[in-house]
C-alpha cells in the first residue's frame, strides 16, 4: 500500500460563507466523518500557512490586499457568489499552505501521496480576482512552489471538477513546464475550457463532457485522451483538482458519476509521476455524496 497523508485543519471550517451557500463548512465535516466511519485513519501533514511570497507567485499584490482587507474589515466582495468573513483570511492561507505542505511532504519522501481536505477551494481564482467560491488558487500556488522551491521542471495538473478550472488554466497558459488537463461539463459555469485553448506548446488540454455523462464516458475520456497526454508529458509530479460535483446527486452538477467512479479514476493516475501525487479538494456540494466519494478516492490513493 502507498503511504497516504491527509491535510486538514479545523480552522478552515471557520470560513463563513453565510446561510444556504453551497460551499459551506459542513463539507469538510462530512468528509472527515465519512473517513472516520470507513475506518480510515490517515497521518496528518502539518500545515504551514501560505506566505505572501507563495501567493504572489500566482496572484497580483492588488488581489492579495483586496482579499485581506475584505476579510479583515468584513466587507462585501464585488463578486457576490464568493462571500468571505473575518476568519476567511486564515482559512485561505491554510488551504493554500496546506497544498504546499502536502507537496513538500511528498517531495521529501515522507508520503507517496496526500489528500488535501481544504476550503475555500481554488481552481476558479484568477490572478486578479476571486470567483466561483475561490479566494486563492490553491493548486496553482502549490505548482509554483514545486517549481520555485523543489526545482521541478515538469508538473502535471489534472482537474476533474464539473466546472472548468479557469484560474488554473490562466496561471499556466504560457508555461510549457506545466501541463493542465481538464475534464469538465460543457456548457456550464464559468464558460471557459474550449478545446481550441491549447496553451504554450500544447500544454493545455480541455475535454468537454456533455451533460448527463456517466462513468463509462468519463473513464473513456480519461483512458483515451487525458492519460495519454499526461503520460506523454512525463511529469515529475501530479496535482489533482479533486472536485466531486460530477456525482449524480450533486445539486450544482449535471453528470452521472457514482462514488465508486472516483476510485476508478484515481487508480488510473496514481502510477503517473512515479507515484508522486497530491490531490486538492475543489467542489462537491451534496454532503453524503461528497463524503462517500472522498472515501473512495482516498482508498484508491492508499492502494497506490
Catalytic residues: 124
The answer to whether the CB of 178 falls within 8 A of the CB of 145 is no
CA distance 23 to 8: 16
Of 227, 174, 97, give the one whose Cα is nearest residue 218.
227
Taking alpha carbons only, the member of 81, 51, 48, 49 closest to residue 64 is: 51
Q: Among candidates 210, 267, 281, which has minimal Cα distance to 239?
A: 281
What is the rounded distance in angstroms from the CA atom of residue 28 to the CA atom of residue 287?
9
Largest CA distance in the chain: 49
User: Please, which residues have CB within 8 angstroms of residue 144's CB and are 6 or more apart in sequence?
Assistant: 54, 57, 58, 171
Beta-carbon count within 10 A of 254 CB: 18
User: What are the distances in angstroms from CA 37 to CA 272, 289, 291, 292?
Assistant: 30, 14, 10, 10
Amino acid at each position: 500500500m502507498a503511504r497516504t497523508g491527509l491535510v486538514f485543519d479545523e480552522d478552515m471550517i471557520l470560513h463563513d460563507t453565510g446561510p444556504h451557500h453551497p460551499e459551506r463548512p459542513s463539507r469538510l465535516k462530512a468528509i472527515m466523518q465519512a473517513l472516520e466511519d470507513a475506518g480510515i485513519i490517515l497521518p496528518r501533514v502539518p500545515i504551514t500557512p501560505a506566505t505572501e511570497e507563495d501567493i504572489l507567485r500566482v496572484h497580483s499584490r492588488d488581489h492579495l490586499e483586496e482579499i485581506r482587507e475584505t476579510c479583515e474589515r468584513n466587507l462585501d466582495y464585488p463578486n457576490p457568489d464568493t462571500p468571505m468573513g473575518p476568519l476567511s483570511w486564515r482559512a485561505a492561507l491554510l488551504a493554500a499552505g496546506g497544498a504546499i505542505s502536502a507537496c513538500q511532504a511528498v517531495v521529501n519522501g515522507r508520503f507517496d501521496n496526500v489528500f488535501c481536505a481544504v476550503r475555500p477551494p481554488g481552481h476558479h481564482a484568477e490572478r486578479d480576482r476571486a470567483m466561483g467560491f475561490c479566494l486563492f488558487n490553491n493548486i496553482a500556488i502549490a505548482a509554483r512552489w514545486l517549481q520555485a522551491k523543489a526545482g521541478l521542471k515538469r508538473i502535471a495538473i489534472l482537474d476533474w471538477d464539473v466546472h472548468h478550472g479557469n484560474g488554473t488554466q490562466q496561471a499556466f497558459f504560457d508555461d510549457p513546464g506545466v501541463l493542465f488537463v481538464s475534464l469538465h461539463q460543457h456548457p456550464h459555469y464559468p464558460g471557459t475550457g474550449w478545446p481550441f485553448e491549447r496553451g504554450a506548446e500544447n500544454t493545455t488540454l480541455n475535454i468537454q463532457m456533455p451533460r448527463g455523462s456517466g462513468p463509462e464516458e468519463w473513464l473513456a475520456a480519461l483512458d483515451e485522451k487525458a492519460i495519454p497526454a499526461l503520460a506523454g508529458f512525463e511529469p515529475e509530479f501530479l496535482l489533482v483538482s479533486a472536485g466531486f460535483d460530477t456525482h449524480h446527486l450533486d445539486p450544482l452538477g449535471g453528470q452521472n458519476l457514482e462514488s465508486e467512479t472516483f476510485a476508478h479514476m484515481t487508480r488510473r493516475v496514481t502510477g503517473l509521476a512515479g507515484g508522486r501525487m497530491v490531490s486538492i479538494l475543489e467542489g462537491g456540494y451534496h454532503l453524503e455524496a461528497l463524503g462517500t466519494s472522498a472515501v473512495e478516492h482516498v482508498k484508491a490513493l492508499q492502494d497506490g
